[in-house]
Each structure stands twice: as structure tokens, then as C-alpha cells.
């Protein structure tokens, strides 16, 4: 592995020194491009009270290409599929090298507050979210309790 780019070092420093409230991102001991992330479920969302684990990997050409991010904790959300893959434009075609790890994680937290069933990744979840939002929210709360609260 080549030397760690200064950009990644700088971002890592800042994440440690000025952590974002509700988000923790810690580089792996053996791979400084791999981050262990925990995002707290936003208040007034069905995910409130949950702690969601994610993994974030900075590819070789970061920041020219987006970080790869995935939920490890199971989550009931129309834009996140069963494998934890996230449908978020800034992780795909709307990536800009001016975005950072912290802005990406904030966007993901915002996505929890504002699910978008019209641009779904998990089709069955999105469908229910559109037809019967109350039940979908009940499911999301149930999953949060079951998978994101046990420790």
C-alpha cells in the first residue's frame, strides 16, 4: 500500500478532533482507508434510539471518486437494501471531491430523517412506505428496536 495521502490524514485528524455529533468514524488499526462508523438514529424518526453500524472505505483514487459506504446493521428503509447498500446520489454520480467523509455521513444521517420512497433501492419497503406509511414506520421502529438497540 502506498503512503497515505495527506487529504485522508487531514480528514482523519479532523474527525478525531472535532467529531460530528451523533456520528463516530474511527479508522481501522490496520487499514487507514477503512473506517468503522456508528450513526445514531435521528430524533423524531423511526430510527430514533438506534445505533447503526456502517463501514466506509476510501478507494485508491479518493477524493476523485466517492467513498464506498454500507450499513452493517440491518435497517428498514426504502433507500437502503438488504445488503446495506445505500441509494444516495452523492455516493454515485453527484459525488464531488469537495465532499468529505463527514459530509457523506451527515447526508446518510439526513437520509434516515427523510426517506425517499420515490427513488427506492429496497422495492418492497418503498412500496409499503408509499401505500401505508404508518405500517412502514411501525416496521422501521420494530427493526430499529430489534437490530440497532441490543448493545
Point out which span in 36-44, 45-53, 113-121, 128-136 binds another protein (CB under 8 A): 113-121
Residue 103 contacts another protein per CB under 8 A: no
Residue 130 contacts another protein per CB under 8 A: no
Show contacts with another protein in window 57-86 (CB under 8 A): 57, 63-64, 68, 81-83, 85
Nearer to another protein, 81 or 104 (CB): 81
- The H-or-E segment that residue 126 falls in is helix 123-131
Whole-number Å distance between alpha carbons of 42 and 115 = 12
Given a contact cutoff of 8 angstroms between Cβ atoms, the answer to whether 121 and 21 are in contact is no
Q: Which three cell numbers stand for residue 31?
A: 487499514
Residue 114 contacts another protein per CB under 8 A: no
Q: At what angle do helices 101-113 and 6-17 cross, to 10 degrees?
A: 50
Catalytic residue IDs: 87
Residue 18 contacts another protein per CB under 8 A: no
**Best CA proximity match to 56, nearest among 113, 10, 12:** 12
Point out which span in 26-34, 43-51, 103-111, 141-149 binds another protein (CB under 8 A): 26-34
Amino acid at each position: 500500500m502506498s503512503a497515505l495521502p495527506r487529504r485522508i490524514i487531514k480528514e482523519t485528524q479532523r474527525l478525531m478532533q472535532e467529531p460530528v455529533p451523533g456520528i463516530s468514524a474511527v479508522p481501522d488499526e490496520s487499514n487507514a482507508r477503512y473506517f468503522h462508523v456508528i450513526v445514531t438514529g435521528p430524533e423524531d424518526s423511526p430510527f430514533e434510539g438506534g445505533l447503526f453500524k456502517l463501514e466506509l472505505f476510501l478507494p485508491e483514487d479518493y477524493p476523485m471518486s466517492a467513498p464506498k459506504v454500507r450499513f452493517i446493521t440491518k435497517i428498514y428503509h426504502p433507500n437502503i437494501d438488504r445488503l446495506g447498500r445505500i441509494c444516495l446520489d452523492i455516493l454515485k454520480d453527484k459525488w464531488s471531491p469537495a465532499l468529505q467523509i463527514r459530509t457523506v455521513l451527515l447526508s446518510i444521517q439526513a437520509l434516515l430523517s427523510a426517506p425517499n420512497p420515490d427513488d427506492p433501492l429496497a422495492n418492497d419497503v418503498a412500496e409499503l412506505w408509499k401505500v401505508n406509511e404508518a405500517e412502514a414506520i411501525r416496521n422501521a421502529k420494530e427493526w430499529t428496536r430489534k437490530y440497532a438497540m441490543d448493545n
